[in-house]
C-alpha cells in the first residue's frame, strides 16, 4: 500500500501543471504610474531635458504603452500639467468657504494654499517649467474652467460680507488678492533651499514653517482690515 501511495504521489508531482492565466492589466494604475513618473522627470529636467525612455523606466512600464496611453512627449506633459491643476482646484472647491465667517474663510484659503505647496513641492517646480515655456502648454487647454481657481470668485463674496460687517475694506481686487496669497505661500516653498543657505537657517523646520504660515495669514488679514487712504 505504501508503494502504491508513493507511486500516486510521484504521478501527481510529475503531472504537468496547468498554465496560470496572465494577470489582467490594470490600465488605470499603469496610466497613473506613468503620469507620476512623467511629473518627476519634467520637474527634475524641465520639458526640454525630459526623456520618454527615462519616464518609462521610472514607471517600470513598456514605452509602447506610454505612447498608447498618452501619444507623445508633449501630450504627456500636458496631461501632467492638467492633472496638477485639477488636483489643487479639487482641494479649493472642497473648502466650502461660504459656511465660514469672512476672517475664518480667508484664514482657511491661505493655510490650504500654503500647505498644498508644502505637501506637493513638485507643483511649484512644474509651474516654473511651464513659465519657462511661456505658458505654451497652458494655452492649449481648451476648457480653462479646469485650471481657473474658484477662489477668486469666492474672495469677491468674502470681501463683500466682510465689508458689510464693517471689518474689511472695499477697494479690493479679488484677483490681485489671490495673487498676493499665492505669492506669500509659493515663494517660501519654491525657494526654501536657497533661502536656508542665505539666512543660515533650515527653513524646513516645523516651527519656522508654522511661523511663516501664521505671518502670511496675519499680513493678508492686516491688509483687508486696513482702511483705504
97-152 tens-digit pLDDT: 999 999 999 999 999 999 999 999 999 999 999 999 999 999 999 888 889 999 99
CA angle 29-34-36, nearest 5°? 95
* Start and end residues for every CATH 1.10.10.60 domain found in the chain: 26-71
Q: What pLDDT, on a 0 to 100 scale, did the predictor assign at position 20? A: 46
CB atoms within 10 A of CB 35: 19
pLDDT tens-digit readout, 78-95: 999 999 999 999 999 999
DSSP state of 45: H
CATH no., domain 85-229 = 1.10.357.10
Q: What is the pLDDT of residues 15-30, one digit of tens each?
A: 444 444 444 457 888 9
What the block records as the C-alpha cell of 88 is 489643487
Query: Residue 185's closest CA among 131, 93, 119, 126?
Result: 119
Q: What is the 3-state secondary structure (H, E, C) of the chain?
A: CHHHHHHHHHHHHHCCCCCCCCCCCCHHHHHHHHHHHHHHHHHHHHHHHCCHHHHHHHHCCCHHHHHHHHCCHHHHHHHHHHHHHHHHHHHHHCCCHHHCCHHHHHHHHHHHHHHHHHHCCHHHHHHHHHHHCCCCCHHHCCCHHHCCCCHHHHHHHHHHHHHHCCCCCCCCCHHHHHHHHHHHHHHHHHCHHHHHHHHCCCCCCHHHHHHHHHHHHHHHHHHHHCCCC
- What is the spatial distance between Cα 39 and Cα 129, in angstroms, rounded to a whole number? 11
Lowest model confidence (mean pLDDT) among 7-11, 83-87, 192-196, 220-224: 7-11
Q: What per-residue confidence (pLDDT) applies to 144? A: 86
**pLDDT beyond 90 at 43:** yes
What does the longest C-alpha to C-alpha distance in the chain come to? Answer: 106
2 confidence band (pLDDT: 50, 70, 90) = very low
Listed residue (191, 184, 194, 36) closest to 112, CA to CA: 184
What's residue 229's pLDDT?
65
Residue-level pLDDT at 226: 85
Length in residues, the chain: 229
User: Which CATH superfamily is 26-71 part of?
Assistant: Homeodomain-like (1.10.10.60)
Domain limits, CATH 1.10.357.10, in the chain: 85-229
What pLDDT digit, counting tens, does each position of 145-187 carry? 889 999 999 999 999 999 999 999 989 999 999 999 999 999 9
All cell numbers assigned to 145: 474652467
What pLDDT score does 25 carry? Answer: 58
Determine which of 49-58, 137-146, 201-210 has the lowest per-residue pLDDT on average.
137-146
For residue 109, give the nearest of 144, 156, 160 by alpha carbon. 156
- At residue 19, the pLDDT reads 46
Q: Are 186 and 124 contacting, i.e. CB atoms less than 8 angstroms apart?
A: yes
Check whether 54 has a pLDDT greater than 50. yes
If you average pLDDT over residues 63-76, what whole number do you get?
Answer: 92
Amino acid at each position: 500500500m505504501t508503494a502504491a501511495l508513493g507511486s500516486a504521489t510521484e504521478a501527481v508531482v510529475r503531472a504537468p501543471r496547468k498554465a496560470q492565466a496572465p494577470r489582467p492589466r490594470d490600465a488605470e494604475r499603469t496610466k497613473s504610474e506613468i503620469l507620476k513618473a512623467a511629473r518627476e522627470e519634467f520637474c527634475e529636467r524641465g520639458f526640454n531635458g525630459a526623456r520618454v525612455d527615462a519616464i518609462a523606466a521610472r514607471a517600470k512600464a513598456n514605452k509602447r504603452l506610454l505612447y498608447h496611453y498618452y501619444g507623445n512627449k508633449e501630450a504627456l506633459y500636458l496631461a501632467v500639467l492638467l492633472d496638477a491643476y485639477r488636483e489643487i482646484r479639487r482641494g479649493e472647491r472642497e473648502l466650502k468657504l461660504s459656511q465660514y465667517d469672512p476672517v475664518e474663510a480667508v484664514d482657511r484659503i491661505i493655510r490650504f494654499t500654503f500647505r498644498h505647496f508644502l505637501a506637493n513641492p513638485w507643483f511649484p517646480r512644474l509651474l516654473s517649467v511651464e513659465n519657462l515655456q511661456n505658458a505654451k502648454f497652458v494655452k492649449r487647454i481648451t476648457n480653462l474652467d479646469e485650471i481657473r481657481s474658484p477662489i477668486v470668485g469666492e474672495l469677491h463674496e468674502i470681501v463683500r460680507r466682510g465689508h458689510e460687517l464693517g471689518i474689511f475694506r472695499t477697494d479690493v481686487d479679488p484677483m490681485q488678492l489671490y495673487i498676493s496669497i499665492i505669492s506669500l505661500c509659493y515663494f517660501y516653498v519654491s525657494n526654501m533651499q536657497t533661502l536656508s543657505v542665505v539666512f543660515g537657517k533650515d527653513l524646513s523646520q516645523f516651527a519656522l514653517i508654522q511661523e511663516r504660515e501664521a505671518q502670511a495669514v496675519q499680513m493678508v488679514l492686516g491688509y483687508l482690515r486696513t482702511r483705504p487712504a
